[in-house]
Chains A and B, each alone.
Chain A
């Protein structure tokens, strides 16, 4: 089962739509609510990152019987130092993003905490690719 969503840089009114739709699907599939929360919190953080930092992007969600794979690709400034960006408290967010309640440097660490696998690739001036994988059962990890 695959889903695709478009993300628009700077448009906070739509940020979270993909996460909301994925949450509904996972609920319908009777996935453990604790797993659903982990998945959608990570996806929402990733969505907010694209809206906050990039020009545009896409979310691709691939749901299988035992797992969900999430791929976020954006066109944007990229991340010069991913290791630095993963540190709690490090942020390059604008004042406008902070006014929305984000930009505290918690997004990437919180994504890592909530998924089973996280990989980030980025090219400065081109964009960033984020892959997140979560298994529905602890036995599959």
Chain B
């Protein structure tokens, strides 16, 4: 699923990595627990999370996750945006809840990792 489709389905805006709306993700994982994200063994993952801090970006960096969608209106700070940009990540933000967001993505064909 392309970033532009994720934006349309979830009302998300890109706050880091704009201009890459044609980038594609293969699957998604939703969690506020970074320990679980670090157990993933999959490429092309979209991380959907309500945890918005520096460790979210560090976790994504180590887990080779390059796309993150923040839910529940969480806003990335300038420090977070800088670290994400250094790691060539795409960050999006939506005001929708986690449940609403993953429901839209799942129903429109973005598969889970497991």
A113 to B40, CA, bound (A): 12
> A15's contact among B51, B58, B64, by CB below 8 Å, is which?
B58
Contact between A100 and B53, CB atoms less than 8 A apart: yes
**Interface bin, chain B:** 20 to 34
The majority secondary structure among interface residues of chain A is helix
A21-56 CB mask vs B (1 if < 8 Å, else 0) is 001000000000100010011001100100000000
A133 to B58, CA, bound (A): 22
Stretch at the interface among B28-36, B90-98, B100-108: B28-36
Query: Is the C-beta of B85 less than 8 angstroms from some C-beta in chain A?
Result: no
Contact between B54 and A12, CB atoms less than 8 A apart: yes
Known contacts A12-B54, A100-B55; is-contact A40 B35 (Cβ 8 Å)? no
Contact between B64 and A106, CB atoms less than 8 A apart: no
A67 to B18, CA, bound (A): 38
Query: Is the C-beta of B14 less than 8 angstroms from some C-beta in chain A?
Result: no
Contact between B63 and A37, CB atoms less than 8 A apart: yes
Query: Is the C-beta of B26 less than 8 angstroms from some C-beta in chain A?
Result: no
State which residues 8-22 of A face B: CB under 8 Å. 12-13, 15-16, 19-20
Residues of B within 8 A of A44 (CB): 38, 58-59, 62
Query: Is the C-beta of A104 less than 8 angstroms from some C-beta in chain B?
Result: yes
**Interface bin, chain A:** 20 to 34
Query: Is the C-beta of A102 less than 8 angstroms from some C-beta in chain B?
Result: yes
Residues of A within 8 A of B24 (CB): none
A37 to B41, CA, bound (A): 9
Contact between B63 and A19, CB atoms less than 8 A apart: no
Q: Which residues of B contact A (CB under 8 A)?
A: 32-39, 51, 53-56, 58-59, 61-64, 79
Besides the contacts A16-B55, A101-B55, A103-B35, what 13 more A-B pairs have beta carbons closer than 8 Å? A13-B79, A15-B58, A16-B58, A16-B62, A19-B62, A33-B64, A41-B62, A45-B35, A101-B37, A101-B51, A101-B53, A102-B33, A110-B35
Q: Which residues of A contact B (CB under 8 A)?
A: 12-13, 15-16, 19-20, 23, 33, 37, 40-41, 44-45, 48, 100-107, 110, 113
